[in-house]
A and B are shown apart, each in its own frame.
Chain A
Amino acid sequence: MSISTSALKPVRRHPAAPRAKRLLGRVLIYAALLFWTFICLFPIYWTVTTSFKSAVDVTQAHLIPWVDFQPDWKGWRSLGLSPDTLFGISTARAEFTNRFVNSIITSVGASLLALILGSLAAYGLSRFRYKFAWMRNDDILFFFMSQLILPPVVLALPFLVLYKALALLDTRLGLILLYTLSVLPIVIWIMRDQFNAIPIELDEAAFVDGLSTWGAFLRIILPLAVPGMVAAFILSLVLCWNEYFFAALLTSTDAKTLPVMVASQTGSQGINWWSMAALSTAAIAPLVLVGIFLERYIVSGLTTGAGK
């Protein structure tokens, strides 16, 4: 029925027939929700369970532990992370730990650096008016944001040459610098939104109390901006942790990160399913935990500026 005719009739609420229709609607909604839950979770479930399977269980596509296969520490033993090998000496575990630590240092280092640089710039852009040659605040913001469109390949090869000259190839510092540049625009975007949400009267009150520009920023405004900083930090952490392209080109032995290790395993020794599954599980586990427990920060970081 069209909108004009229905306006003439009184609208009846929930007559008998639409009730069944409503029920059907509910069923369909939940069916769709459960279907997509399955799509999202099955690959994770598959990977985690495969790390406990032996070769036979993989080839026969056994899915449910204890029902159609007997879980075993096989995959984790190959990483030196199963209970019986955990306290022994294991070269595989040493390598894994080294990559894991590299990943932590580079992603935390880059996120911190980006947070410092980005927060300062965002506060400046939110509070003061700058003029840099022809550039006003909006132009400066656009200048920072425009780096988002830069595909990594454009910088990758020049960086390879530059880092060779600077002796930064295969160092964590080199990766930290690159990762910082790739998350800096996002941090500035989130933090500017955060600072804009803090009323400017607070700055003014701080000035009246005799604080300098930097004093007001550090002692009054920054503590209030912690939620935004946490969101920006966690989002950059996730992006840096998952980064593969630069790490694959610029590291070889010392500074290799976890994604590079995962990728190199798939190529070399055929498919060693259980150890690959264990490695993948270990690589995604920190992020799955972050996703479950810090979900609201991720959401608030991602949706900055949406709906405006």
Chain B
Amino acid sequence: MQNSAPVTDDLHHQPAVKRAPATRKAAGRAIVAVASLGFLLVLLVQILHTTDTTAAGFSDWRPILVAYLIWAVAFAIAQVLIRGERGQRALFLLPAVFFTIAVVIFPTIFGIYIASLDWNLSSVEGPRFSGFGNLVGMLNDTYYWNALGNMIFYAVAVLGEYAIAFGLALLLSAEIRARKFFRVVFLLPIMLSPVAVSWMIGKSLLEYRFGPAATLARYLGWENPAFFASPWMARLSIQAMDAWVSIPFIMIILLAGLQAMPREVQEAAKVDGANGWQSFWHVTFPIMLPVSITVLIIRIIFKLKLADIVINVTAGGPGGATDTVSSFIYRVYRDRSNVGYGTALAMVYLVLIILLLTLLLRLSKRWTQRVV
């Protein structure tokens, strides 16, 4: 090892690194060639077998997975042989890259293909190509648009979660006793499984007849405490449950931001005679703005995946009022087993999410620049 600090040398101008000898390079290339050929051969055999052209083949596609794995290992070994030290460094990244290609990139591309099919998994007919048929169906699907509308409500509700979480973070960063106890307790909800929470809160605490929350509501004068009967009440109840689970996440990140804030800033505000509210609004809040925007964006990303609680408590009801896009697609699949249509809906949703996030990132960049 004669090269010095790993980061200081650029991989593209490496003068002193020992070059792999020509024979090793040739061996490496040969390995890649053989492995690729073998992989393609297995693939070809299986494709011919599935299309009933030849009898030889495997009963399922699992050997293809094994072949891919072998190919990836061979490729990695060849990198070391061909490129020496640089190959060894590539070895750190390659496993994650190959894994991601296999389980994210490939399924996503495959999903785009499925989205163009009319494919009912439970029928014997098999897939039928329908082009943009699914998209046309989507345009007329009022339930899908309704679910998208609900997502706007759920995403905006993140602001409410943020406000509560900021309050809690401020409480925890105040001079209090038993800070550790409160922090552990406030963090607990995030650990619980949303499915268990659906039962614990949605189906038992908020139960109409004898759930404690309903009893309390009756005591406070609400005659008919049905938490999931009217659309808005149901939406709010679902949102409240999701907030219960996720507020700790926002809180703990804001708390970290508050603790990283220099003490002098607060002291200076106090010396200047600012009262509590003023020092929060003019000092703490602006300093926390970058952290706040980051945590809000992360939280919105997670919110857009909301499904478990809705599926388990209301199954989208009443009348689709609480549906999220994910829970709706889940139901579409459960009821109609149409993978093509479901995937098409999901793909459109993904495109919308990417557009929204690009917009949010742009806006947040401009916003933080103007304030700071």
Q: Is the CB of B92 within 8 A of A262?
A: no
Closest residue on chain A to residue B111 by CB atoms: A158
Instruction: Show 28 residue pairs from A and B whose CB-CB distance is below 8 angstroms, ordered by the A residue.
Output: A32-B171, A47-B200, A117-B96, A118-B96, A120-B96, A127-B7, A153-B307, A153-B345, A154-B349, A154-B350, A155-B108, A157-B111, A157-B346, A160-B121, A166-B61, A180-B99, A238-B191, A242-B195, A248-B311, A248-B330, A262-B195, A266-B312, A276-B204, A284-B192, A295-B184, A303-B252, A306-B295, A307-B291
Residues of A within 8 A of B197 (CB): 43
User: Per-position contact with A for B197-231: 1 when CB-CB < 8 Å, else 0?
Assistant: 11111011101011010010000000000000000
Which A96-150 residues have C-beta < 8 A from chain B? 116-118, 120-121, 123-125, 127-131, 140, 143-144, 147-150
Q: Does B93 contact A (CB under 8 A)?
A: yes
Residue in B88, B95, B107, B174 whose beta carbon sits within 8 Å of that of A29 in the complex? B174
Residue in A166, A207, A260 whose beta carbon sits within 8 Å of that of B65 in the complex? A166
Interface residues on A, range: 35 or more
How far, in angstroms, from A258 to B199 measured CA to CA in the complex? 13
Q: Is the CB of A244 within 8 A of B96?
A: no
Q: Is the CB of A277 within 8 A of B100?
A: no
A193, chain B: closest CB distance, angstroms: 13
A115, chain B: closest CB distance, angstroms: 11
Which B159-217 residues have C-beta < 8 A from chain A? 167-168, 171, 174, 176, 182-201, 203-205, 207, 209-210, 212, 215
Q: Is the CB of B199 within 8 A of A162?
A: no
Q: Does B372 contact A (CB under 8 A)?
A: no
Residue in B89, B244, B274 whose beta carbon sits within 8 Å of that of A124 in the complex? B89
Q: Does A71 contact B (CB under 8 A)?
A: no
Q: Is the CB of A63 within 8 A of B346?
A: no
Closest residue on chain B to residue A128 by CB atoms: B89
Instruction: List residues of B whose CB falls within 8 A of some A CB.
Output: 1, 3-7, 10-12, 60-62, 64-65, 85, 88-93, 95-97, 99-100, 103-104, 107-108, 110-111, 114, 121, 167-168, 171, 174, 176, 182-201, 203-205, 207, 209-210, 212, 215, 244, 249, 252-253, 255-257, 259-261, 271-274, 278, 291, 294-295, 301, 304-305, 307-308, 311-312, 325-326, 329-330, 333, 339, 342-343, 345-347, 349-350, 353-354, 357
How far, in angstroms, from A161 to B61 measured CA to CA in the complex? 12
Q: Is the CB of A3 within 8 A of B5?
A: no
How far, in angstroms, from A55 to B30 measured CA to CA in the complex? 73
Residues of A within 8 A of B203 (CB): 266, 271, 276
Residues of A within 8 A of B188 (CB): 40-41, 44, 288, 291-292
Residues of A within 8 A of B357 (CB): 149
Closest residue on chain A to residue B102 by CB atoms: A177
User: Per-position contact with B for A220-233: 1 when CB-CB < 8 Å, else 0?
Assistant: 00000000000000
How far, in angstroms, from A143 to B93 measured CA to CA in the complex? 12
Which A49-98 residues have C-beta < 8 A from chain B? 50, 58-61, 63
Q: Is the CB of A266 within 8 A of B193?
A: no
The verdict on A287 contacting B210 (CB below 8 Å), with A151-B326, A153-B346, A266-B198 known, is no
How far, in angstroms, from A288 to B196 measured CA to CA in the complex? 12
Closest residue on chain A to residue B10 by CB atoms: A129
Q: Is the CB of B111 within 8 A of A249?
A: no
Closest residue on chain B to residue A290 by CB atoms: B191
Residues of B within 8 A of A254 (CB): none
Question: Most A CB atoms within 10 A — which of B7, B167, B257?
Answer: B7
How far, in angstroms, from A166 to B193 measured CA to CA in the complex? 29
The verdict on A211 contacting B1 (CB below 8 Å), with A44-B200, A151-B305, A262-B195 known, is yes
Q: Is the CB of B291 within 8 A of A128?
A: no
Residue in B186, B210, B273 whose beta carbon sits within 8 Å of that of A11 in the complex? B273
Q: Is the CB of B304 within 8 A of A151?
A: yes
The verdict on A158 contacting B301 (CB below 8 Å), with A166-B65, A181-B103, A259-B196 known, is no
